Amino acid sequence: MKVTILGNNSALPAFGRHPTAQVVSVYGELILLDCGECTQIQMQRYGFKWRHLQHIFISHMHGDHYFGLPGLINSMSLLGRTAELHLYGPKELMPIIQSILDVAETVLSYPFHFHALPEGSEVLVDNNSFKVTCFPVNHRIFCHGFMIERKTKGRKLLPDKCREYGIPAIFYDQLKQGEDYETKTGDIIKNEWVTEDGPSPKKYAYCADTIFTDSFIDIIQGADTIYHECTYLESDAAKATARFHSTATQAAQIAKMANAKQLLLGHFSSKYRDLEPFRAEASAIFPNSIATTEGTAYEI
């Protein structure tokens, strides 16, 4: 499970950095978190195939988190997409998208489903591969974070070993569940001889735009990786609070309180050219802090 940062800047693009968007890859499926301007261009640049994208989640209605949507939705139709697309976002989002489609008399080539976010925390998607839960954060306008949990898929088969021991393919599902295989002559083929550990469950908490608050700590508790915005350094803490944003120090405090393993920092203000001070400031509190760079895929 990986997250690739497509945009790590806040509202104004600066120094080659783009507004917020991230792609989470789970078992080959892509999940898009926010969709700032240039998202479709960034996805192309970093080699993502739109056909693997089925779920888009928009945290809130500030333009730096959704202005890339009309272009992306339209381009997928121009390419003749047929797979379903599910968009989750604030209820105000769909009328905007709809009017853009209506004035251009656009009929999308694919089934498009919009799901309005609830006010509180709720499970939005729960399938065999992953679960996505939204949770409210505290921003100037209604805003949600998202928790993405990758599910385990049992043990991983070693096909060469299975063939070597002559195990019939019909028994493979049981091997994935950890069972041993008994041959016709009564010999036991131990599960660990023909399988290895499968992918473990993983949790990624995307904390969107928020003022410093511990109100969602319970939900993100134990996440392997937390993304937390830090628009400002601590020297601008008053400005951060006034604008419902956070500092690098505050992001690190959240990661520490949540017992995370890794902290990804982003949503940097365009007033900062150099991002190293963000890493340095956060690392003093939470050592495994990373000031994200665009195009980098981080293992969760």
| Closer by beta carbon to Zn ion, 77 or else 213 | 213
Least Cβ distance, residue 17 to Zn ion (angstroms): 13
Least Cβ distance, residue 284 to Zn ion (angstroms): 25
| Closer by beta carbon to Zn ion, 32 or else 85 | 32
Q: How far apart are CA 18 and CA 10, in angstroms?
A: 8
Least Cβ distance, residue 214 to Zn ion (angstroms): 20
| Closer by beta carbon to Zn ion, 62 or else 150 | 62
Least Cβ distance, residue 200 to Zn ion (angstroms): 32
Residues that bind Zn ion (CB under 5 A): 62, 64, 209
Strands 130-136 and 85-89: unpaired
Least Cβ distance, residue 103 to Zn ion (angstroms): 26
Active site amino acids: 64
Sequence-distant contacts of 226-229: CB under 8 A, at least 24 apart: 226/254, 226/255, 226/258, 226/260, 226/262, 226/263, 226/264, 227/3, 227/22, 227/263, 227/264, 227/265, 227/266, 227/292, 228/254, 228/255, 228/263, 228/264, 228/265, 229/10, 229/265, 229/266, 229/267
Least Cβ distance, residue 89 to Zn ion (angstroms): 13
| Closer by beta carbon to Zn ion, 1 or else 35 | 35
| Closer by beta carbon to Zn ion, 34 or else 149 | 34
| Closer by beta carbon to Zn ion, 64 or else 281 | 64
